A and B are shown apart, each in its own frame.
Chain A
């Protein structure tokens, strides 16, 4: 008798441990295609045009500011010695960070077999690519003479010189370029079977031709799938290492230098966590919009949003730890320069930026301990916006607050951004959201093939009992 009760409660416990379903209602494989692929190529709603108008205007504003910068020189920005890195490097680090969430979702969660990732992987991968595009723009114009950017690469030249491979800046060139190319490849590979579905659905001649070429004549043969799955898994494994390395290398740009406040061993993990944190906030914001406007509530469920918000909360706690370590290092090192820099963060000219960072990144996300915030649109968007703002200002604090008080008081300088700086920042947001909007119209926002795998009944029964999904 006793053993039976134990068994019963054990099964009950097992039931409660089971993950909630990754989609709501009964969706067949065919329905999935209809829901995800039908909006592609149909006439967008008015709201889309309004949004596109706003984002493309912002993008053009940024382009104009960039053209003015290139034609005149970077003296039109507020940067000057000792604050040689300001908005452009802040924006670079910010955008590269946004990208990291996409790779985390698509690669690391694939390896962990977190099935909820399948619904949001495509969208976040696309965001990775667009964010890295926005990021690369900034160092390229920051060099002042962007037409000579090819000097960054090691190529044999008449001058007989090579880049300095011991410099973190050249590591950055390789890391960011590799990251962009690998993300693009990973995204494209996932798209190939979906593009084949689109090819077979599309009626318009030109669109059909474009999709046919892009899917390379994919025909879904079992032999192809076998190689495809293997390759996809291997790339996910490699991309996992890559995503951890990229923001570590970005942090080396700071940590390898001797600037007080930068020269710390906490920087690589601190930057990677911050990147994932900011990226998840951006994905949450974008997913809420996509989910409601494209009526995908049953595919991107509240469960998805809740899991994402839990990741945000975890990252927020890790960031709090990193901030504490920074303070601890300043105190424990007994180095007057580091101490001074840390005090500048919280009591200096830019004290408000320091406290805004702590408020937005550490305090506000703690609201996610409450279920209501994790499940409510207004709540989660408020927190996601706060995190985005906070993470941008975190980079502002790291870069501007550390640099503006140099070792020599005679060189101290108060940095003020110009309108052009703001114009380019707005332009990068414009570019990002313009690309996101275009993507949502011409390509499937949900990886239909990957979703089909996790649909109930999509796989044959295994030997020794049914395998429910």
Chain B
């Protein structure tokens, strides 16, 4: 078996006082860097060992500022730019309302920088292959003993000399810790494994989350909310005997605001007069109703060239044809009410006002598409 290199030599002390007294003595003569291992923090040991000030305060300041900017940026961008919402009459960029979340995220970033930055970046933990963890003295150190370690740098340690030095400084016990073949491959391999594990867990977690979000809401009982006992229009429903969801009006009842229509034939309808005035508002209403209901078959200009042709074999009438120009308003109204040939009744869809407005609009179309010279504005 080959000779093993010595990593460090530990001197065990009984109290913090003895440890602190020994440090200057060893520091003077030791050939390697010093490290102390203690069960709890000792005041003043950082000065005695000549440690540099911990940079954690600066790290926290930087990351806390980043957290604040990130939070405020997220809030301003989402609430003021990407999805601008007006809440309680406040402006989009109402920074006052964004303070609580900004504060919380600042604290979150800062504390996790302090905690994880301290453990992982500064102390380089987790590390399970450090030679110190093999030491027989470690259980004593985490309990109530104090160790001063002379560690090896490039040069190998003179074991006898350092042992004598530590004993001379008051060490009760001395332990020599030797290098193990596992020590050196510790860190990089650990970080590689950790990185691979994190990537793999992210992929698995992402995949599972994707499916969970996709599938979970459509399972029982999550869909209970969709499954409501209600009547949907145009849908079958077995609540009523006839299997329809929609109901017919009760016999011999009149809807509020409507007058029963008693005209029996188109010829009798000639007597009906258009009660609506020919104003801009009425014509706009007529155009809207016409475009919504009539233009599908009669065409947007009323010329019988519909937007929807192929579905029906029936040829819709051109409203611009001479016989329709000549018939009275009442007859057009009657056709809207009762339907004609293939045209169904639009009684239920248009209100009385709308029907008469449509009649006016049809007249406008007839005149506009066969305009005479005097109609053109001078």
Using a CB–CB cutoff of 8 Å, the interface residues on chain A facing chain B are 28-30, 33, 70-73, 144-145, 147-148, 150, 154, 160-168, 170-171, 174-175, 178, 181-182, 185-186, 188-189, 192-193, 196-197, 199-201, 212-213, 216-231, 234-235, 238-239, 241-242, 245, 249, 252, 449-450, 452-453, 457-462
Which listed residue (A145, A154, A162, A450) contacts B222, Cβ 8 A? A145
Distance between A464 CB and nearest chain B CB, rounded to angstroms: 13
Shortest CB distance B304–A (Å): 43
Return chain A residues, CB-CB under 8 Å to B118: 189, 227-228, 230-231
Pairwise interchain contact B114-A234, C-beta atoms closer than 8 A: yes
Chain B contact patch, size range: 35 or more
**Smallest CB–CB gap between B184 and chain A, Å?**
16
Flag whether B210 is at the interface (Cβ < 8 A): no
> A221 near B110 (CB under 8 angstroms)?
no
Other than the given A28-B144, A234-B60, A238-B110, 8 more pairs (CB < 8 A) read A33-B143, A70-B221, A161-B83, A171-B101, A178-B108, A225-B40, A242-B104, A252-B100
Give CA–CA (A10, B187) in the complex, Å: 60
Known contacts A182-B111, A223-B35, A242-B107; is A165 also within 8 Å of B213 by CB?
no
B132 proximity list for chain A (CB < 8 A): 219, 221
6 pairs, CB–CB < 8 Å, chain A vs chain B: A28-B144, A160-B82, A166-B94, A201-B139, A201-B143, A459-B42
Kindly state whether residue B195 has any CB partner on chain A within 8 Å. Answer: no
CB <8 Å contact, A197 and B108: no
Smallest CB–CB gap between A306 and chain B, Å? 27
Contact across chains for A460 and B44 when beta carbons are under 8 A apart: yes
Binding site for A on B (CB under 8 A): 15-17, 19-21, 35-46, 49, 51, 54, 56-57, 60, 74-75, 78-79, 82-83, 85, 87-88, 90, 94, 97-98, 100-101, 103-105, 107-108, 110-112, 114-119, 122-123, 125-128, 130, 132-133, 138-139, 141-144, 213, 216-217, 221-222, 224-225
A412 and B225 CA atoms in complex are apart in Å by 27
In the complex, what residues of A have CB within 8 A of residue B78's CB?
Answer: 154, 162-163, 165
A73-B227 Cα distance, complex, nearest whole Å: 12
C-alpha spacing A229/B60, complex, angstroms: 14
CA of A230 to CA of B108, assembled, Å: 17
Q: Is the CB of B104 within 8 A of A196?
A: no
From A175, A200, A453, contact of B41 by CB (8 A)? A453
A238 to B42 CA separation, bound complex (whole angstroms): 24
Q: Which of B45, B57, B82, B222 contacts A147 (CB 8 A)?
A: B222
CA distance A189 to B123 in the complex (A): 13
Q: Sorted from nearest, which 5 A-B pairs have the closest CB atoms?
A: A231-B118, A216-B126, A200-B139, A29-B144, A162-B78
Q: Distance in Å from the Cβ of B260 to the closest Cβ of chain A?
A: 37
Known: A161-B83, A234-B56. A227 touches B123 (CB 8 A): yes
Query: A164 to B87, Cβ gap below 8 A?
Result: yes
A217 in contact with B107 given A189-B115, A452-B40 (CB within 8 Å): no
Inter-chain contact B125/A29, CB cutoff 8 Å: no
A174 x B133 contact (CB < 8 A): no
Known A-B contacts A165-B97, A245-B104; the reply to A185 vs B115 at CB < 8 A is yes
Tell me how far the C-beta of A183 lies from the nearest C-beta in chain B, rounded to whole angstroms. Answer: 10
Closest A residue to B112 by CB, please name it.
Answer: A185
A459/B16 contact (C-beta < 8 A), A217-B125, A219-B133, A226-B46 known = yes
Contacting residues, chain B, for A160 (C-beta < 8 A):
82-83
Q: Please, which residues of chain A bring their CB within 8 A of the CB of B56?
A: 227, 230-231, 234
Tell me how far the C-beta of B290 lies from the nearest C-beta in chain A, rounded to whole angstroms. 35
Instruction: For the complex, give the distance between the alpha carbons of A230 and B85 in Å.
Output: 43
Which of A167, A220, A457, A462 gathers most chain B CB within 10 Å? A220
Please determine whether A223 and B123 come into contact, CB atoms closer than 8 angstroms. yes
Taking a contact as CB atoms under 8 Å apart, the answer to whether A166 and B97 are in contact is: yes
Known: A224-B123, A226-B46. A30 touches B41 (CB 8 A): no
- Given known contacts A196-B142, A231-B118, is B221 in contact with A222 (CB within 8 Å)? no
Least CB distance, B213 to chain A, in whole angstroms: 7
Residues of A within 8 A of B60 (CB): 234, 238
Given contacts A160-B83, A231-B117, A460-B43, contact A154 B74 (CB under 8 A): yes
A125 to chain B, nearest CB (A): 14
Using Cβ atoms and an 8 Å threshold, which residues of chain B touch A150? 213
With the chains together, A171 CA to B213 CA distance in Å?
A: 24
B105 surroundings in chain A (CB, below 8 A): 174, 178
Could you tell me if A234 and B57 are in contact, using CB atoms closer than 8 angstroms?
Answer: yes
Point out the residues of chain A lying under 8 angstroms from B138, CB to CB.
200, 219
Q: How far is the CA of A181 from the CA of B43 in the complex (A)?
A: 30
Least distance between A268 CB and chain B CB atoms (Å)? 11
Q: In whole Å, how far is B210's beta carbon from the nearest beta carbon of chain A?
A: 12
Given A71-B221, A160-B83, A229-B41, the answer on whether A192 and B119 have CB atoms closer than 8 Å is yes
| Chain A residues, Cβ within 8 Å of B217 | 145, 147-148
Residue among B19, B142, B217 facing the most chain A CB atoms (10 A cut-off)? B142
> With A147-B216, A220-B141, A452-B39 in contact, is A186–B100 under 8 Å at CB?
no
Partner of A222, one of B51, B101, B139, B222: B51
Complex Cα–Cα for A189 and B143 (A) = 18
Of chain A, the residue at the smallest CB distance from B147 is: A220
Does A170 contact B101, Cβ atoms closer than 8 Å? yes
**How many Å lie between the Cα of A229 and that of B142 in the bound state?**
17
Q: Which chain A positions have C-beta within 8 A of B127?
A: 216-217
* Chain A residues, Cβ within 8 Å of B42: 222, 225, 459-460
Residues of A within 8 A of B101 (CB): 165, 170-171, 174
User: Which chain A positions have C-beta within 8 A of B38?
Assistant: 220, 222, 225
Q: Establish whether residues B41 and A228, one from each chain, have CB atoms under 8 Å apart when the complex forms.
A: yes
Q: Which residue of B lies closest to A224 (CB)?
A: B123
In the complex, which residues of chain B have a beta carbon less than 8 angstroms from the beta carbon of A70?
Answer: 221
Do A458 and B40 touch across chains, with their CB atoms under 8 A apart? Answer: yes
State the CA gap A343–B40 with chains docked (Å): 57
A162 with B51: CB separation less than 8 A: no
Closest beta carbon of chain B to A107's beta carbon, Å: 10
Residues of chain B lying within 8 A (CB to CB) of residue A239:
107, 111
Task: Please tell me if the beta carbons of B128 and A217 are within 8 angstroms of each other in the complex.
Answer: yes
Contacts of B88 in A (CB 8 A): 166
Give complex CA distance A164, B45 in Å.
51
B51 touches A226 (CB 8 A): yes
Taken together as a complex, chains A and B put the C-alpha atoms of A212 and B56 apart, in Å, by 25
Q: In the bound complex, do residue B16 and residue A460 qualify as a contact, i.e. CB atoms below 8 Å apart?
A: yes
